Structure 1
Amino acid sequence: MAEKFEEFDLLYSGKCNGVVPVYKYRSNVTGITVVIAQVEGPLVNGYFCLATEAHDDDGLPHTLEHLVFMGSEKYPYKGVLDLLANRCLASGTNAWTDTDHTCYTMTTAGAEGFMNLLPIYLDHVLYPTLTESAYVTEVHHVNREGEDAGVVYCEMQGCENTGENRTHLALIRAMYPGACGYKSETGGMLENLRTSTSHRKVCNYHKEFYRPENLCVVIAGQVDGSQVFPAIKPFEEKIVSKGSLPPYKRPWQSTVPPLEASVEEVVLFPSDDEEHGMVKIAWRIAKAKEFYKMSAVMTLMEYLTDTAVAPLQRDFVEVPDPYCSKVGYSIIENADGCVYMSFENVPKTKLTNIKERVLELLKKLASGEEVINMTRMSNVIQRQILDALSNLEDHPHDTIAFDMIGDFLYGDTKEDIQLRLNRVETFRKLKAEPKEFWIQLLNAYFVGTNYVVIIGDPSQKLMEQMGSAEKERIKQQQKTLGEKGLTANGEIVEKSTKANEVEPPDEMITCVSVPDVKHIQFHHIQPSSNHEKSAANNNEKFPLADIPVLFQLDDIQTNFVTLICLLDTGCLPTDLKPYLPLYLEVIIESSILRNGELVSHEDIIAELAADTVHTATSIGVAGSRFNCGNFSEIVCIELKVELEKYTKGVQWLQELLYAVQLTPDRLKVIATKMLKDVTRMKRKGSAAVGAVMRNMLFSKSSNMCISTMMRQQTFLGQLLTKLQSDDPDTAKQVVTDMTKLQQLLTQPCNIRIHLAAPVERLVQLGIAPNTVWEKDFLPAGVNPGGERPTVKRAVDFITSDPAAPAGMVVGVGAVESNFLMQATPSVSSFDHEDIPAILVFVQYLTQLEGPMWRQIRGLGLAYHYSMFLKPESGLLYFVLYKSSHAASAYKVAKQIVDGYVDGSTPFSPIEMESCKSSLIFELIDKIKTPAKASTESLLTYFKGVNMEYNQSLIQKVSAVTLEDVKRVGAQYIAPLFDAAKSKCAVCCHPSKVQEVAANFKG
């Protein structure tokens, strides 16, 4: 691109890791920084970043982030930005607040809508209205009932007192003593939001930090300067017309006070489970500008924590009596950075033992008593190189944006940018560093230096005290306000809501036209499969006819090979199914019999990490531990490898299926690790309510049910009792059961392979891609025959038990907000003719600045809500997340739906057009990268639809009429809010269970 676009000077041009062109410009008139990264694909992402610094817990950066979306000088109406975004093939806008910056985002399908929205977004960021009425509803207020509410308040209420948050806040407070903004809770503490934060403070904060010199706009997608700068020019003229601003002082330039002594602190957190806590240990490390040193610390942390053979995992997790279920790390990239290790699910009796064991291990490594394994270090760095390249392919927009945000905050020179954008080069240099370099690094930052230790100690007593204290506080607040005060508060909220809900004129919305989908660039896939003989040889360079298992090929432009093995669990008897989650974790961390020799689990873990970019297993496609993905009656084993290791990847898959050796010791270690993780999961309201709902909806023989954390907790506990039995036959029975499961699952008739790869490039490497599958995949003596059963779907397991509860409220001590999930039967075929209309109705209700946004989130009743259709299970869902008043939010949602269904609330033609546009964006978002496009391709085989399903659905959505929407509303949406036709689960604090249950009964 050009070195200059009118007032914008080119400061840097280069390629991110030698792949994606990146250009950085700065305006010599206003000081605005613009970065353009020419990422391929259908989406264009924008990131509007401002450096923000706070020295208290009022949460001004966070409150301001919310208020920016409430209207601007030129567009002075709440939500107009999101309404316009929805028309621009986007799904609204978003933002996040970090300790050192605030970033506003938007993503559009194609460049046309992005350019239309760009100057409108800039007007909101630099010239928001910041009205007092917006502050009342969006930040904090006390309602007519004397209860605290507001969107920001509701959000922070849902996270302030979790163990993770309380320990993290204690850690940064101790790590950054004295006058330092890094110790602040920029989200806002509840006490501050109630008593200290104010509308005036927010306005003053905007004046100080929201100015053009402090704004960096990162644009990633198929755009160039000739499109971007003309779109910005009129806005620059507006900035100039405002006159000069006070002198600019760049944030985060003050000296960070040193950590002059080690700190150890015990932090209690509310929990109804007192058996397991957490520990965090932190050290100061390099400055943000010292990118090479920062990268070296990251590599050292990977060496210490990544995979079961890493020293910390080996000594704390992979032992008969574990100290925790997981060891992780996080680097905080501040002016003076820090790194902390996290030890999760630590038995209460071992909370005080972690620190000494960690320090002792680090001393051993630094002194040479334990030798650093340079072969493994080299493998760790090689995987970091591949991860960097993989992230650039799978998450290109975010990868480059995060690098450029870091540069904007702390960088000064072209060399700083070059280092950030070329991590691969940095890792290659680190790969050449000798052992002495890593020892020096340990001594520089971790051995003999000051540290911070935070012990998170679970307390049921604190949980009860906090529940009682909050009830008493509300009671006292109601008493203080009195009837007059409560009425006045209600009127303030009502008045503010009315002021906020003034509708923008139609011409303000329609002035932005809906872009044409025809101009959007999609990733091309050439699919083929051997499901039918006629299609088996569609790809002449990769014939599939002679491969002995079901095989699906996506020939796609990518730098990697992704192999996914899908196993049908329909062959398993009910008594073996509970072993599935354990089996999927065990197979990638166990010994293997290779060429007649037993290779230890330690060697297998290290080799697998060296040979792959990514390894994952799950129940269903893209599932997670204790949570099924799509098509839950299959299990997935996924490997991602370099092109050169294609054959090796197939060999690994074959060994994981047929050569894994199951032993009581490994089963015991991994089952213990999983069991401890249940404790962490049970503290999450969203996880708890989801598990309860699945237990209510699905039969006990379904994977959806057997994989829930509550059932796995019971099963794994019983299994460990058997494994620890003095009777060897009892432990052997567990191994026998697991071996039987393994044999049944890996019968060729139950196997399906999905492969995504650039076939031409494999051939150019001298690889005959089909040969290894034909000759080597099935072991000798395994017959490829057998009848292939039809994979069952989740809808086949919907419970018909009349005794199953229709509603349930559960209490979780670590939760202060409410979480709700409700479901009703709906369409169960992916090609059902009503799906497009159902999706449009749901999108109309839930789109940003749509009816539910305005009346649920806008009134502070819940931080988030959603509705979604799951044809695979034949269910339609409604969800409330972090709700301050679940019953009130639910009642409002029902009223909204009833209004549209009975016709008392008319549909807006303009909002209908916007909703279709935002829905089309969400469909395109599913196929935004080669990996995502291939995943959607995989799913088409199980959905029973053709490869053009998504593109066809886009056309059908466009064609949905108002009559279609009205018809499906009565037929499918209304039953979701009918207690006789739906099931409901709610999670709340134990002290509120009776109250919540009574509210819903009423």
Structure 2
Amino acid sequence: MPYHDAFELLRDEHIAEANSQALLFRHKKTGAEVLSLVNDDENKVFGITFKTPPDDSTGVAHILEHSVLCGSRKYPVKKPFVELIKGSLNTFLNAMTFPDKTAYPVASQNLKDFYNLVDVYLDAVFFPLITEDTFRQEGWHYELEDVEAALVYKGVVFNEMKGVFSSPDAVMRDLSQRSLYPDVTYGKSSGGDPKAIPDLTYSQFKRFHEKFYHPSNTRAFFSGDDEAGERLAILDAYFSQFEAAPVDAEVELQPRFNAPRKIVATYAGTKEKGKPRHGMVQLNWMLDPPADRTEALSHGMLSYLLVGNPAAPLRKALTESGLGEGMTGGGIGSGLRQPMASFGMKGIDAADAEKVEALILSTLEEIAKTGFAPEQLEAAANTFEFSLRENNTGSFPRGMSYMFNALGTWLHGGDPIAPLAFEGSLTALKEKAAAKHFESEIRRLLLDNTHRTSVVLSADPEQGAREAAREAEILAGVRKGLDEGALRQTVADTEKLKALQETVDDPADLAKIPTLTLADLPREIRKVPMDLGTLGDVRLFYHDLPTLGILYLDFGFDLHVLDKDLLPYLPLFGRALLQTGTSKEDFVSLTQRIGRSTGGIAQHRGLSARQGSDGSAAWFFLSGKAVPDKFGEMLDIMGDVLLDARLDNKARFRQMALEEKAGFEARMVPAGNSIVDTRLKSGLTEASWIAEQLGGVSYLQFLRGLVERVDSDWAGVEAALVRIRDTLFNRGRMVINVTVDGSLWERARPEIEKFLGHLPNGDFPAADWSIDYRPRSEGLIIPAQVNYVGKGANLRQLGFELTGAANVAIKFLNTTYLWDKVRVQGGAYGGSSRFDLTSGNFSFLSYRDPNLLKTIDAYDGASKALHAPIGDNDLTRSIIGVIGDVDGYEFPDAKGYSSMWRYLTGTTDAIRQQRRDEILGTTQADFKRLAEAVDAIARHGHVVVLGGETAITSANDKRPGLLDVTRVM
């Protein structure tokens, strides 16, 4: 059947694995290609992708990705992207720069909203305004506030990438990729190297858009339950405005090396006295493009077999070697035309780099000779198959996973539909596995592959200062070359950009951005079916939902029975349950058993304030998922894990502690705003204090001490772990959460009830969690070129009782004032505020921020934006945006868990409906109430900053006593 006259239908196939009809089209006039999946997924997805291979490291593709969303021909406002964040029901809205492509995906469950998003994005990419001022704001510019001041670089991407390159792991990833592909586009930093970004000119930036952002270079994608013909009509309205044009965007193949190469470099980091392990080493291989879907699956399964779980032989060999603290490298990746394989270690003595390399190669050689055990192969095959069939992408829209799978081949002239089907390839791979396929692949892909690099990184405590001095020297040289007229012009340009950034958009232009109305929003909350009862003597939550034949099971244990000194052990205790083995099997056998018989067993903790209480909901969960034939085996495994884990396995526990410490330190820079938020709130409420002990700076300090205590006082550490198990795992304070459709529940119920009889029946009283917590202002020093600045307080303690309407005011604040002041004008990658209505905690946060005091001043001035009159359009958009957040998409397992968690925190459906009504009924008065609270934070709030020593010291010099200083790294 014809779908649209402007398009030629190339393929029409049913993909059973995606439950979709796959339609591949070519636009007759321009050659643009469109893959349209028609299915019953209400979470509709659109994405438009361009091949954008850069030929330098100026970050041009990345800066352009930011810039096209800053106003377009049809929507000539400063930030249509932000207006959509503010006033859309989107379930995904972002843009992404990759080494060879730039993608613009959106998703929504509401059809009208979905097509609104599609139209704004299409106009943005094809007809952006991309003025020189936008380039300067999002990319880079010289900033000079007066003719006597120092010249500085500013720009959102410039500071974002400074933050990226403050992470040693990011430096390793960048160097490793560039080392393998020195002659092609993959040898450039597609995100932008801060040293190279100022080399980019506006004319180069414009030419890049003119060359690559054309329908002839387009891969457009749809997935969902909307109508296929309407999709094409929307696209043709844009594509037809262009003529066909040849676009040279091919990613060339990197010529192969004749011999391995080595790169030795440094990163800006500190060194502790007497502790030489501040190095990293990684071996990297370039692979040939996979010939078909079977080979692509083979790459993924081989990576899982080698390093995909703690018991995988290469990962196990590295972590048990004693040479380092944790693994680096992602195994075998799939994101590049010529894939990349990487394995290495962090937390090593750089002098041991060759030992690590030799261990990697010798372990691969041994596996290639002796092969994988049948149990390993069976576990890997089951894990892969379960994941493919479940296709549970969490909060990530399922259609987007289809899109990126298709792009892996489609981008380079291959078949976009083949990656969506896996049955035949999976069957073929299973047959190959029995014939020593993976062992021969280790030899072919890795051992006999001379296109290999070794990258060795060492910490250099002086590097940060040298890089700052070099940047200052360059800027001083630029300034010296400017005569007085040029200096005054630079000051004028700085003032002009700031004035433009502060200019309010014309209401008539803002009104052009399509939006829903309040009448389009459902007034009632979404309810999840839940039967509350008991199973034996244990509280039961059951959710009858369609789960494709999978049982999702959560066992929850109340943490309040534990003495508070035991709480910091919990993250490692949870890992120990699954990664130390039992009295009957070592942890390798246990891991393989989990892989063979289940879709996964995992542990985690739930932590929140409770409604109407100063206390907390604090729970430990062991969760599993399995198909019907494996219910019993999953329960057996969960019983062994809970009651028989080898908590006396000192060597394994020590290595896990080292990995945990190294992992936390690696997250410090990428997740700096979350670290600050956790620390900021730790002195405000019980739940927040616990969160700091389990995942904040206090936890890092605990880990550092624990690593030493494992050697000096193992008996004490083991005793603490045993106390946790003996106290926690009892039926008296336990809950069970089950999500599965009704027919399978009747089959599983007796098996679960029988399992419960094997658990102890103690009912321990609640422990004393009296905590003398209090907020304080701190400066936490790390070796970074950017800062993460937080300020906050508990509004309830300051005398404010707000409603759900406060979230609407916060949405407005985040997408107007804070976006403008902290990101656009301040040059930070992000600035926002957060408010938890249950606890009363409020925080301002910035991300990858070149400023410190200016950002605090911006926070202190935030109430002005809330006191100012708000237009009806802004109010409506903000309400819509908050409802979109509240009604976010969830898969059945997440719906069941969320329903149970709301009950445990005291959040009843009546409270949810009340909050929804408050959101929908928000008025200007609610903005003023939040403004008064924000004023109180300006006067009484406390500050936490994670950042570089120079910035923190300078802030204290200018405002003595502002921050208590602690060196974290």
TM-score (ref. length: structure 1) = 0.87
Q: How far is 1:825 from its partner?
A: 0.5
Query: Could you tell me how far apart the structure 1 residues matched to 2:839 and 2:480 are?
Result: 49
Query: Is the partner of 2:564 in helix, strand or coil?
Result: coil
Kept in 1: contact 2:106–2:118 (CA 8 A): no
Q: How far is 1:121 from its partner?
A: 2.1
**Equivalent of 2:813 in 845, 852, 864:** 845
Kept in 2: contact 1:118–1:232 (CA 8 A): no
Kept in 2: contact 1:154–1:860 (CA 8 A): no
Matched, 1:558 2:547: yes
Q: Deviations over 1:826-847 (max 9, x none)?
A: 3599xx9833211011001112
Matches within 5 A, 1:11-160: 11-12=10-11, 13-15=13-15, 17-38=17-38, 40=40, 42-83=42-83, 86-90=86-90, 93-145=93-145, 146-160=151-165
**Equivalent of 1:189 in 178, 188, 193:** 193
Unaligned runs of 5+ in 2: 146-150, 610-614, 963-969
Matches within 5 A, 1:290-301: 290-301=292-303
Kept in 2: contact 1:619–1:703 (CA 8 A): no
**Equivalent of 1:207 in 205, 210, 219:** 210
Tell me what 2:795 maps to: 826
Counterpart residue type for residue 865 of structure 2 = Y
Counterpart residue type for residue 46 of structure 1 = F
Tell me what 1:627 maps to: none
Tell me what 1:541 maps to: none
Matches within 5 A, 1:581-980: 581-593=571-583, 598-620=584-606, 633-665=618-650, 666-682=652-668, 684=670, 685-686=672-673, 688-690=675-677, 692-693=679-680, 696-697=683-684, 702-708=689-695, 710-725=697-712, 730-763=713-746, 767=747, 769-779=748-758, 782-783=760-761, 786=763, 799-801=772-774, 806-813=776-783, 815-827=784-796, 834-847=802-815, 850-895=816-861, 897-901=862-866, 903=867, 905-925=868-888, 927-947=889-909, 953-970=915-932, 972-978=933-939
Kept in 2: contact 1:84–1:509 (CA 8 A): no
Counterpart residue type for residue 643 of structure 2 = Y
**Equivalent of 1:985 in 933, 941, 944:** 944
Question: Structure 1 residues 662, 524: CA separation in 2 closer, same or farther (over 3 Å shift)?
Answer: same
Matches within 5 A, 1:220-259: 220-237=223-240, 239-240=241-242, 244-245=243-244, 247-252=245-250, 254-259=252-257
Task: Say which is worse superposed, 646-655 or 123-132, in terms of deviation.
Answer: 646-655
Q: How far is 1:463 from its partner?
A: 3.1
Task: Say which is worse superposed, 224-233 or 679-688, in terms of deviation.
Answer: 679-688
Query: Could you tell me how far apart the structure 1 residues matched to 2:869 and 2:332 are?
Result: 50
Query: Is the partner of 2:94 in helix, strand or coil?
Result: strand
Query: Is the partner of 1:928 in helix, strand or coil?
Result: coil
Counterpart residue type for residue 889 of structure 1 = T
Question: Structure 1 residues 119, 578: CA separation in 2 closer, same or farther (over 3 Å shift)?
Answer: closer
Q: How far is 1:738 from its partner?
A: 1.8
Query: Could you tell me how far apart the structure 1 residues matched to 2:174 and 2:48 are?
Result: 27
Question: Structure 1 residues 887, 600: CA separation in 2 closer, same or farther (over 3 Å shift)?
Answer: same
Q: How far is 1:465 from its partner?
A: 2.6
Question: Structure 1 residues 476, 615: CA separation in 2 closer, same or farther (over 3 Å shift)?
Answer: farther
Matched, 1:567 2:563: no
Tell me what 2:422 maps to: 423
Query: Could you tell me how far apart the structure 2 residues matched to 1:647 and 1:437 are?
Result: 32
Tell me what 1:324 maps to: 326
Kept in 2: contact 1:139–1:151 (CA 8 A): yes
Q: How far is 1:85 from its partner?
A: 6.3
Kept in 2: contact 1:617–1:638 (CA 8 A): yes
Tell me what 1:539 maps to: none
Q: How far is 1:446 from its partner?
A: 0.9
Query: Is the partner of 1:17 in helix, strand or coil?
Result: helix
Query: Could you tell me how far apart the structure 2 residues matched to 1:202 and 1:583 are?
Result: 51
Q: Deviations over 1:676-712 (max 9, x none)?
A: 4344344553465345435555679953232245444
Tell me what 2:612 maps to: none
Q: How far is 1:742 from its partner?
A: 0.8
Kept in 1: contact 2:40–2:225 (CA 8 A): yes
Q: How far is 1:555 from its partner?
A: 1.5
Matched, 1:436 2:439: no
Kept in 1: contact 2:65–2:95 (CA 8 A): yes
Tell me what 1:542 maps to: none
Q: How far is 1:997 from its partner?
A: 2.9
Counterpart residue type for residue 783 of structure 1 = N
Unaligned runs of 5+ in 1: 531-544, 624-629
Question: Structure 1 residues 974, 553: CA separation in 2 closer, same or farther (over 3 Å shift)?
Answer: farther
Tell me what 2:511 maps to: 509
Task: Say which is worse superposed, 57-66 or 714-723, in terms of deviation.
Answer: 714-723
Query: Could you tell me how far apart the structure 1 residues matched to 2:162 and 2:666 are?
Result: 19
Question: Structure 1 residues 26, 779: CA separation in 2 closer, same or farther (over 3 Å shift)?
Answer: same
Kept in 2: contact 1:53–1:101 (CA 8 A): yes
Q: How far is 1:762 from its partner?
A: 4.5
Query: Could you tell me how far apart the structure 2 residues matched to 1:140 and 1:798 are?
Result: 47
Question: Structure 1 residues 249, 512: CA separation in 2 closer, same or farther (over 3 Å shift)?
Answer: closer
Question: Structure 1 residues 622, 631: CA separation in 2 closer, same or farther (over 3 Å shift)?
Answer: closer
Query: Could you tell me how far apart the structure 1 residues matched to 2:290 and 2:247 are?
Result: 19
Query: Is the partner of 2:887 in helix, strand or coil?
Result: helix
Query: Could you tell me how far apart the structure 2 residues matched to 1:953 and 1:521 are?
Result: 11
Kept in 2: contact 1:615–1:638 (CA 8 A): yes
Tell me what 2:495 maps to: 494
TM-score (ref. length: structure 2) = 0.90
Counterpart residue type for residue 186 of structure 1 = S
Task: Say which is worse superposed, 35-44 or 97-106, in terms of deviation.
Answer: 35-44
Question: Structure 1 residues 907, 139: CA separation in 2 closer, same or farther (over 3 Å shift)?
Answer: same
Q: Deviations over 1:230-273 (max 9, x none)?
A: 33343344x15xxx35x414522544322232111112001114
Question: Structure 1 residues 946, 380: CA separation in 2 closer, same or farther (over 3 Å shift)?
Answer: same
Question: Structure 1 residues 582, 326: CA separation in 2 closer, same or farther (over 3 Å shift)?
Answer: farther
Task: Say which is worse superposed, 552-561 or 832-841, in terms of deviation.
Answer: 832-841
Query: Is the partner of 2:326 in helix, strand or coil?
Result: coil
Query: Could you tell me how far apart the structure 2 residues matched to 1:142 and 1:807 are?
Result: 32
Query: Could you tell me how far apart the structure 2 residues matched to 1:696 and 1:948 are?
Result: 30
Counterpart residue type for residue 844 of structure 2 = F
